[in-house]
Amino acid sequence: MKALRTIGILVLVAGLMLGSVGTVFAGGPPDDPPGKGPKFQKRGFSGNVTGVIDGNVTIDRGQGLTVTVRLTERAQYKIPRVMNKWGTLSQFKEQLEGDLAALEGRRVVALAGNSTGKWEALKLMLLPVPGLPPLHAHRTGNVTVFNPPSEDNANLGNITIVDRDNIPHTFVVDGNTTYRPKEFDELAETEPENLHGAVIDQFVTVVTTGDPKVEQPVAKAIVIHRRDT
């Protein structure tokens, strides 16, 4: 009698299990075997950074294509001529004055992996400003003073930014200083009288030669990150 009761219980449990399986597969089998999840993917991306939010970097790949890659401590990072060896995210951020927003407007190359439906960086390299030779230093901060050079370049201009530690840095601005994104460079060419209003109070990266012998280095490029104060 006890054996029959045990068999009956086993049959009931088996029936419930089969019913559950039937319910789960009523809409068709799952895309992936249970417990294995999506296959790991690895891809390379390059382009200009258009946004940085909570460690997620959006890269414009051109032709209307974008991709968002998450930056984590698990990845490796490099800046040619600045970080000659691959480093950690913390070391990378130190070179950006502690603010990943300094990546906006800059060109990067990333190797990313995807196992959850979202891309996560494996390696990321920040490239030099397009059109300029490799440079050695930059400063990031909010613009407090900006005087563009005269239209005939007879008089030099200057730019002062205040970094996250509230320390001011001043650079010479001359006729060879370039601006990024491109529309700011075009503004300097076609409407120089409006350049001051477009740059003042903006969050920028000033790229220089980094020569310690120069008391007031020349701004080779000014990258505007479009983050109004």
Per cent of the chain over pLDDT 70 is: 74
Q: Note down the domain range covering 82.
A: 41-126
| Claim to verify: residue 48 and residue 93 sit in the same structural domain | yes
Q: How many domains is the chain built from? A: 2
Give the CATH number, domain containing residue 60: 2.40.50.320
In the three-class reduction of DSSP (H, G, I as helix; E, B as strand; rest coil), residue 192 is classed as helix
Residue 117 has pLDDT above 90, yes or no: no
Residue-wise pLDDT tens digits, 43-85: 999 988 988 988 999 999 888 899 999 999 999 999 887 887 8
Task: Let me know if residue 182 belongs to a domain.
Answer: yes
pLDDT of residue 209: 66
| Claim to verify: residue 67 and residue 112 sit in the same structural domain | yes
Q: 126 and 102 in contact (C-beta within 8 Å)?
A: no
User: Among 23-27, 135-139, 219-223, where is mean pLDDT lowest?
Assistant: 23-27
Q: Could you tell me whether strands 65-70 and 119-126 are parallel, antiparallel, or unpaired per DSSP bridges? A: parallel
Task: Let me know if residue 200 belongs to a domain.
Answer: yes
- Region of residue 54 (left: phi > 0; alpha: psi -120 to 50; beta: else): left
Task: Let me know if residue 29 belongs to a domain.
Answer: no
pLDDT of residue 116: 85
pLDDT of residue 78: 92
pLDDT of residue 22: 36
| Claim to verify: residue 112 and residue 176 sit in the same structural domain | no
> What integer best gives the mean pLDDT of the chain?
77
Rounded to two decimals, the pTM is 0.47
Residue 111 has pLDDT above 90, yes or no: yes
Q: How far is the CA of 158 from the CAs of 13, 39, 45, 169, 200, in angstroms?
A: 81, 53, 36, 10, 12
Q: DSSP of 1-23, one letter per residue?
A: -HHHHHHHHHHHHHHHHHHHHHH
Task: Let me know if residue 67 belongs to a domain.
Answer: yes
Among the candidates 75, 104, 126, a domain finishes at 126
State how far the Cα of 180 lies from the Cα of 142, in Å rounded to an integer. Answer: 15
Q: 147 and 200 in contact (C-beta within 8 Å)?
A: no
pLDDT of residue 92: 92
Among the candidates 126, 157, 188, a domain finishes at 126
Task: Let me know if residue 117 belongs to a domain.
Answer: yes
Among the candidates 126, 147, 173, a domain finishes at 126
| Claim to verify: residue 49 and residue 93 sit in the same structural domain | yes
Give the CATH number, domain containing residue 148: 2.40.50
Residue 123 has pLDDT above 70, yes or no: yes
pLDDT class of 129 with cuts at 50, 70, 90: low
